[in-house]
Structure 1
Amino acid sequence: MQNRKFIKVLEIDLTAKKTNLEKRKDLVPFLGGVGTGIKLLEEKIKPEFDCFHEAQPIIFSIGPMETIYPAVTKVVALFRSPLTGELGESHAGLRLGMAMRFAGYDAIVISGKAKTPVYLYISNEQVEFKNAEALWGLDTEETGRLLREKEPGTGLRSILRIGPAGEKLISFAGVNVDTYRHFGRLGLGALFGSKGLKGMIVHGDESESIPDKKEYPKVYREIYHKVMETDLMEKYHGIGTSINILSLHHMNSLPTRNLQESSFEFAQEISGESFAEEKLVRKLACSGCPVGCIHIGIHRKRFADPYEYAWSGISYDHELIFALGSFLGIGSKDDILSLIEIIERYGLDCISMGVLLGWITEAYQKGLISKEQLGRSIDFGDTEGYKFIIENVIKGTNEFYKTVSKGTHYAAETYGGKDFAAVLGKHEIAGYHTGYGHLLGMSVGARHSHLDNGGYALDQSLQEPDGEKLVDDLILEEMERNVQNCLVICLFSRKVYDLDTIVKALKAIGIDYSSEKLMDLGRDIFRRKIALKKKLGFDYRKLEFPKRFFETKTLHGLLKEDKAKDLLSIYMERAEKICAESVDLFARTDDEKKSI
């Protein structure tokens, strides 16, 4: 199938402080990324134990095209999520993919629990277990600064770390990667904390040769042209994803004040255009990407008179502006940047924290939460009040704050208010309220993410989507994204890397796949993910759509609960049929595939 002989898997046991390097021939058909990762997770996960059991694995995986082609920059992490109890999948960029590549590892598997806090120093020569007791309790910024001082290195180095949120096992704690990127959303930071793992440094200085020195430059130039000289990725470099704020506002699709509304009167003030004009100071790119989609805004803080200021560079994008802006009724760029800063320093996920704050605000207004529990009153737009709540979530001040640290779904189950909790599949929503595509897509996606299947984009491309077609489109796109995620391609470049382009790109580096074989792989991963989720307790029949999603206008007007449930039934039927397939997709001959 391809010229690679094996996949190199580095296994790290924190309990025994031992490592093992395996060269796995059987993993070669899965390419890498989410393919390799889901196969390793199937082998290593312990469904009978909770997510914090020391035997549970954390898996990082890259693909064979990592940093060799433009915008192939990501690393996928796979684990059991503390937030949902199900499949956790998160992607991050900047330097980690490059560092793993040049350290010579296709995948890293971490299990066990350190007796005292440690950080790992991983290179192509060795793995060192280093004492992190002095770092425990520090925020992500200070931890990063000290690790850079302790472990000087080159640009081929990546630094991961958690903050107090991960140490305290908050269910939506993330892992900071090289300051401006994160493994977020599903609680990987809490798993680091449960294992006593404060951080990781990955450093490599190996090199690799390209087999086909004639074809590779040609294919590279074709891809580079699409990335840099067409409009396929222009918005990501220009204004960035925050360009979505105004367009979604005009479409009645921007979740506002805990989704009580879908447009925001201060949308212009917090738009990507306004951020670019008043706050943008620089743009950064992940290693191996020429685009530069990471937008850094300046945040000034007055700390003394007269006119004494400090400043920070804060990364912002659409999802953070939605979660800490419109969703909380905040119309000030400075206030949004100040919330991003405090949340990320503590090591929390910004989107989950923002959605939780929206639910807390409405629950307080409806009398489900008392002033005594909260420690003060709160209303939409109260930035200082939100900072107070965030601080108390980190401190675990009382039973209320300990409860909400388990996420919005758990909080609503405990205190009431499920009807207005903006969660789908136990996971806080992303920044869209576009229609049935987003509603269903985020509910059924393997990791309950809008990035699993792009349902929000299907809503915007179709006038009135037919139910069966919408379901088929969601499944097909998830399979296609599985292929892209085997290579851990940045999904911003998904239109650049269609199947034909991927086939050519792989062939130029000595890997022979047909587009049909790639889709077989995407379908197989789709099936494996669902099967694994079921082992962890997932059931389509238990999915709920909170009533709030049917009370607020979307791009297509008000949604109907009955139709949403019908779509879920169709999806469940389609997914069950795929999961029931017993044919080994990798063993099919071309003639067998034609008969299907």
Structure 2
Amino acid sequence: MNTDCFHVLLFDLTTGRGQRIQVEGRDQAVGGSGLAALLFSRYGQPDAAWDSPGQPLIFAIGPLSGYFPLMSKTICAFKSPYHNQYTESHGGGRSAMALRLTGLEALVLIGRSPGPCFLEVSSTHVHVRECGFLWGQDVHETGKILRRMSKGSGHRSILRIGPAGEHGAAIAGINIDTYRHFGRLGGGAAMGVKNLKAIILHGDAILPLPEDSRYSKLFGEVHRKVTDSGMMKKYHDLGTPANLKTLNDLQALPWRNLQATADEAVNRISGERFADEALLRNSACSGCPVGCIHVGFVREKFMDSHRYLYRQVGYDYETIFSLGTMLGVADRSGILTLLDLFEKAGMDAMSAGVALAWATEATEKGLLSAQETLVPLTFGDVARYQQAAHFFGNGVNAFYRLLGQGTLKATEVYGGQDFACVLGQEMAGYATGEVFFAAQALGFRHSHLDSGGYSYDQQHARQDVHAAVDFLVRDEASRAFLTSTVACLFARNVYTDALLADCLQSLGYEKLAATIPECGRNIQKIRWQTRFACGFRPESITIPQRFRELTTWKGPVDPQYLHSLQTEYSRAIVALASA
């Protein structure tokens, strides 16, 4: 392997032609997040709209992908339909290993196919195939058909979109191997606007491994660290749904569009109850020994029959929050059914649930009626939400198509911005306090994983603006390096800088191993510079009034502290981009 250059496939969907190229910049960009930003700076069009045919859709992995446990994520980068700026989404499944075994570290798609198509990529060939018959099919049916059609051998990963991506919903995601996603900020629409229904990665090459014993010994040590650290039990047994009761006890779990932060009904949908009564099996991303993917089941009786249909639905904390507590739904089967409907449509379930919660409160306040929502929305009414999920996911009328562009777009027409639970995008499920609210609102991809703001809130009751902002900036840089390697962030406490250096050295990346902090800061900088070049202005971000009305374990949210955090964090981000 050439450790100095990235191996990239550049493919033009307009012409149906591509080429494998080598891109320099390993020592500055590392891979993953850094590589995606590097490639966007080369092929992106900062001044053009997100749906311009020339905008690239980028998939990138890192130097450790496939070589060590939990190096299992792929970065998907694009100009977002949500805010028309550069962004990333992170996903797992088999995608990273499959891309590695095509001999590539990145796939860059430009242009727009003349008609619906899917792309097949292996280590030896690339094919574009027409698929008008798939346009309009849901995510699950698309996967079934493509698995029957795809005859290649090797490690295969199938990325596909549903109707939401086809009709340009800004909260449409890309499904990865059924249970994983590039979920946030509209990757599904960025793919759909290219008339690209699916990508099949055939990982049919051989992974070249170092011949000396240092690598195999280190792999064993890392595997033991991962499986002995408590991570295996925490994420395998209950998974992230274990957070439900913890956050509810802290008065930090959003209920009914964040009108409350705790409710005793949590006991009916806790991680323990899901594991005992709804869990069918566990699954894992390729290269991961943990198995954090929890697949639940819903039993559905056939009409006028004694037979039952069992549907498998992957769930986690975020989806139980967005389609459960946020909607006032405390019914396990109901939550899984709602999730299944949004999964089929190819819509990000987090944003969809938060948007529906706003629509429900807007209905209560008289801003919306059944004329817009097509069915009266009431917190806790699962049957009505199931109907609404079908309408929303498929964009059946002007209101749902508008809501699919993001909650704040709907408030511009109908009002209700004060109770829109949006922090840059629809909120994640952590009403922990001021630091997290500022962190997600201003974070690079408006994700709860951009930094550990939610954790900082739980550990620091004292208000110290400068200490909090300093933490957010430092933590983001550290995570930027991890997402360039590309590690699952569940493993961030295992992969210390020292261990990352050992892993990189074992594969021949001596310079990277010696410059981890510097590389992390550099990637942090170039990502922000890329986003600013696309028009990002931190002063344009607003934090709705609802977030100033809460009470958490620390007491009532302090509006002045929140404002100060937002001001100082904005200044820090501007300084990062201009450094």
Fold match by TM threshold 0.5: yes
Deviation at 1:264, TM superposition (A): 2.2
Q: Give distance in 1, aligned partners of 2:189 and 2:473.
A: 30
Distance 2:76 2:218 in 1: 29
Residues 228-278 of structure 1 show CA distances to partners (whole Å, capped at 9, x for unaligned) of: 012144311111000000000000000000000001231011011100011
Looking at structure 2, the residues matched to 237 and 396 of structure 1 have their Cα atoms a distance apart, in angstroms, of: 36
Residue in 1 aligned with 2:219? 220
Q: TM-score, normalised by structure 1?
A: 0.95
Q: Which amino acid aligns with 1:389?
A: A
- What does residue 185 of structure 1 align with? 184
Structure 1 partner of 2:408: 409
**3-state SS of paired residue (1:389):** helix
**Do 1:7 and 1:28's aligned partners in 2 also have CA atoms closer than 8 Å?**
no
Q: Is the 8 A contact 1:173 1:349 kept in 2?
A: yes
Root mean square deviation of aligned Cα: 1.5
Structure 1 SS opposite 2:282: strand
8 Å CA contact 2:80, 2:187 repeated in 1: yes
Q: Residues 548-574 of structure 1, C-alpha deviation per residue, up to 9 Å, x if partnerless?
A: 011121232221222111112222232
The one-letter code matched in structure 1 to 2:423 is L
Distance 1:371 1:348 in 2: 22
User: Are residues 147 and 562 of structure 1, via their aligned partners in 2, closer, same or farther at CA, if it must alter by over 3 Å?
Assistant: same
Q: Distance in 1 between matches of 2:232 and 2:441?
A: 28
- 1:87: Cα distance to partner? 2.4
In structure 2, what is the Cα distance between the partners aligned to 1:398 and 1:94?
A: 33
SS where residue 21 of structure 1 aligns? strand
Aligned length: 579
Q: Partner of 1:464 in structure 2?
A: 462
Partner residue in 1 for 2:30: 31
How far residue 403 of structure 1 moved from its aligned partner, in angstroms, is 1.5
Distance in 1 (alpha carbons) for counterparts of 2:561 and 2:174? 38
Give, as a single letter, the amino acid of the residue that structure 1 aligns with 2:14. Answer: T
**Residue in 1 aligned with 2:537?**
539
SS in 2 for 1:103: coil
Separation (CA, whole Å) in 2 of partners of 1:488 and 1:555: 35
Q: Give 3-state SS (helix, strand or coil) of 1:253's partner.
A: coil
Task: Answer yes or no: is the 8 Å Cα contact 2:504–2:513 preserved in 1.
Answer: no
For residue 376 of structure 1, report the CA deviation from its aligned partner.
2.7
Show the 5 A alignment for 1:411-560. 411-425=410-424, 427-513=425-511, 517-560=515-558
Instruction: Using the TM superposition, name which of 365-374 and 181-190 deviates more.
Output: 365-374
Separation in 1 of the partners of 2:410 and 2:479? 32
Distance in 2, matches of 1:464 and 1:154, equals: 57
Cα contact 2:154–2:204 (8 A) shared by 1: no
The amino acid that maps onto 1:82 is P
Amino acid at match of 1:489: A
In 1, distance between residues paired with 2:178 and 2:340?
Answer: 11
Segment of structure 1 superposing worse, 570-579 or 308-317? 570-579
State the shift of 1:155 in Å: 5.2
Whole-Å Cα distance in 2 between the matches of residues 10 and 136 of structure 1? 25
Alignment of 1:210 onto 2:217: no
Q: Deviations over 1:3-35 (max 9, x none)?
A: 713210101100011101111233453221011
Instruction: Extract unaligned runs of 5+ from structure 2.
Output: none
1:355 corresponds to 2:354: yes
**Following the alignment from structure 1 to structure 2, what is the Cα–Cα distance between the partners of residues 5 and 371?**
59
Cα deviations by residue, 1:64-84 (Å, 9 ceiling, x for unpaired): 111211111010001111112
The residue type equivalent to 2:443 in the other structure is G
Residues 212 and 510 in structure 1, CA contact (< 8 A), matched pair in contact too: no
- SS across alignment from 2:343: helix
Per the alignment, residue 16 of structure 1 pairs with 15
| Alignment CA distance shift 1:514-1:264 (3 Å) | same
**Structure 2 residue identity aligned to 1:534:** F
Distance 2:352 2:473 in 1: 29
Matched AA of 2:165: G
1:515 CA displacement:
6.1
AA of the residue aligned to 1:396: G
**Residue 251 of structure 2 contacts residue 261 of structure 2 at CA under 8 Å; is this kept in 1?**
yes
Picking from 544, 551, 576, the partner of 2:574 is 576
Q: Is the 8 A contact 2:163 2:394 kept in 1?
A: no
Structure 1, unaligned runs of 5 or more: 582-596
Cα shift at 1:395: 4.3
Give the superposition deviation at 1:183.
Answer: 0.6
Q: Which amino acid aligns with 2:536?
A: F
Aligned to 1:122: 121
Aligned to 1:282: 281
The range that moved more, 518-527 or 503-512, is 518-527
The whole-number CA distance in structure 2 between the counterparts of 1:295 and 1:402 is: 31
Q: Equivalents in 2 of 1:491, 1:364: separation in Å?
A: 38
TM-score (norm 2): 0.97
Residues 30 and 62, structure 2, Cα contact 8 Å, conserved in 1:
yes
Q: What letter matches 1:160 in structure 2?
A: L
SS of 1:130's equivalent? Answer: strand
Q: Name the aligned partner's letter for residue 528 of structure 2.
A: I
> Over residues 387-407 of structure 1, what are the superposed CA-to-partner deviations in whole Å (9 max), with x where a residue is unaligned?
222222244343322221211
Q: CA deviation at 1:580?
A: 3.0
CA distance in 1, matches of 2:169, 2:131: 20
Query: SS at the partner of 1:409?
Result: helix
Tell me, in whole angstroms, the C-alpha distance in 1 between the residues paired with 2:366 and 2:427.
Answer: 24
1:299 Cα deviation (Å)?
Answer: 0.9
